[in-house]
Amino acid sequence: MQTRSPIDAGAGRDTALLQIATAAIHLGALGPHLSRLAHDMAAESTDQARLAKAVADNMRALTEHLETATQQMRGASVEVESALTTVSRIAQHTKIIAINATIEAARAGAHGVAFGVVVEEVQRLAERTSATTAEIESRVRDLQTSIARVTAITTDTERHDEPADHGSSVARANARIQHVADAAARQLTAIGSLRDMSGNVKSVTDTLVMAVGTFRFAAHQRAERELGELMRDLGPATLDRPRVEHLLERWIERHPHFELAYVTGPGGRQIVDNIRCANGRASHESSGLHRDWSSRPWYREAVAHRDAQSTDVYRSAATGDFCFTIAAALRAADGALRGVVAADVNFRELLSR
């Protein structure tokens, strides 16, 4: 890591670079937002397409069932109509026979009286049969009309003597549902472009912020002074873990723009928990305890210099935000290395102060 002194091109350039850095960081926040938006939209479009497909499948199944039922009903109505024709023909023949029998009974005189009673009952039966047959024929015609309407709904045909009902056709409804499914598929393609755009925004923003982050601003100097407060609190006393962690907790709560604070021993191995700050309260994280940082640039630069050293800006793997690390060596009165104190700074929070 190459240490750079604060830029000396004048206050105007310093201000311009700060504005570029701030704008780039805000632009960088747009990338994850677009990515989340694309993810949510993709989930909604996928659900919409799945639902539309399920409805379309159900509508197709309904259409097939209706078509089968109407065909069966149409066949049954034809059979009933044929049977009624036969019954009607029998009733007509029965009437003719009854009339002839009445005439013969009248010729028989007194001997035909009993036979005439039977003939009258047969004639009344023939009349009731004719009336019942006519009623059944009327019902069959109504059934055939209903079958024709169901057929028109399922096959999207319209009778010329009836007004078109554009909302009742199963075929039309199925076509609309398919249109929804097609629209959802097109939307998924557009969402893919949005996801690509979010990746491009992130790439461009990272390049810009990293370039600006090689400069040192007044914000860096302020953060280095604040780290100096922690070094004074630690003082020359032994780096006892409970005491050091307590001091880190108090310090980071006063400076919440620092994401993380920790201390190593003289060999570069971390001797305390990671101390974070969330909602103004310090918290512990044990993942860094005993970890060896001796090969990291921030540790080596801190050991090589007497004052605090700041790294270039990078994107935090833990939070996804832009940050940089400040580190300083802790030395005894004779100059012997006691350890290194380090803190990760949220670049956006620091610039907004």
The last residue of a domain, from among 159, 186, 216: 216
CATH of residue 142's domain is: 1.10.287.950
The yes-or-no verdict on residue 3 having pLDDT over 70 is no
Greater confidence (80 vs 204) lies with: 80
Domain that holds residue 101: 1-216
pLDDT at 13: 57
Contacts of 196 (CB under 8 A, 6+ apart): none
204 and 236 together in one domain:
no
165 and 311 together in one domain:
no
State which of 126-140, 230-244, 304-318 shows the largest mean pLDDT. 230-244
- CB-CB contact of 291 with 270 (8 Å): yes
d(CA 259, CA 343): 7
d(CA 291, CA 309): 21
pLDDT at 8: 44
The yes-or-no verdict on residue 325 having pLDDT over 60 is yes
The last residue of a domain, from among 216, 246, 262: 216
The yes-or-no verdict on residue 1 having pLDDT over 60 is no
pLDDT for 147-176, tens place per residue? 777 776 666 554 444 444 444 566 677 777
The yes-or-no verdict on residue 289 having pLDDT over 90 is yes
d(CA 218, CA 351): 9
194 and 253 together in one domain:
no
Taking the alpha carbons of 258, 263, 264, 269 in that order, is the dihedral positive or negative?
negative
pLDDT at 171: 67
d(CA 199, CA 124): 92
Structure tokens at 294: 């001796």
pLDDT band at residue 266 using 50, 70 and 90 as cut-offs: very high
pLDDT band at residue 329 using 50, 70 and 90 as cut-offs: very high
The last residue of a domain, from among 184, 216, 248: 216
Average pLDDT, the chain: 76
- CB-CB contact of 32 with 209 (8 Å): no
Beta-strand ranges (E) seen in the chain are 258-264, 274-278, 281-285, 309-310, 314-315, 322-331, 337-346
Greater confidence (183 vs 240) lies with: 240
What is the mean predicted confidence (pLDDT) over 84-113? 72
Q: Is 323 left (phi over 0), alpha (psi -120 to 50) or beta?
A: beta
Hunting for tokens 């109504």 — which residue is that?
A: 142
The yes-or-no verdict on residue 352 having pLDDT over 90 is no
246 and 212 together in one domain:
no
In the three-class reduction of DSSP (H, G, I as helix; E, B as strand; rest coil), residue 329 is classed as strand
Greater confidence (235 vs 42) lies with: 235
The yes-or-no verdict on residue 231 having pLDDT over 90 is yes
211 and 223 together in one domain:
no
Greater confidence (102 vs 335) lies with: 335
pLDDT at 159: 45
Domains held by the chain: number: 2
What is the share, in percent, of the chain residues with pLDDT greater than 70?
69
d(CA 181, CA 160): 32
d(CA 353, CA 339): 30
224 and 175 together in one domain:
no
CATH of residue 240's domain is: 3.30.450.20
What is the mean predicted confidence (pLDDT) over 74-103? 74
Amino acid at 72: Q
- CB-CB contact of 70 with 116 (8 Å): no
Lowest-confidence region among 33-37, 153-157, 279-283, 315-319: 153-157
194 and 273 together in one domain:
no
The yes-or-no verdict on residue 6 having pLDDT over 50 is no
209 and 244 together in one domain:
no
The yes-or-no verdict on residue 24 having pLDDT over 90 is no
Greater confidence (245 vs 210) lies with: 245
128 and 87 together in one domain:
yes
88 and 225 together in one domain:
no
pLDDT at 349: 73
161 and 39 together in one domain:
yes
What is the separation, in whole angstroms, between the first and last Cα of the chain?
Answer: 27
The yes-or-no verdict on residue 187 having pLDDT over 70 is yes
The yes-or-no verdict on residue 41 having pLDDT over 90 is no
210 and 222 together in one domain:
no
pLDDT for 108-117, tens place per residue? 666 666 666 6
Contacts of 81 (CB under 8 A, 6+ apart): 137, 140
d(CA 153, CA 165): 9
Which run of H or of E encompasses 342?
A: strand 337-346
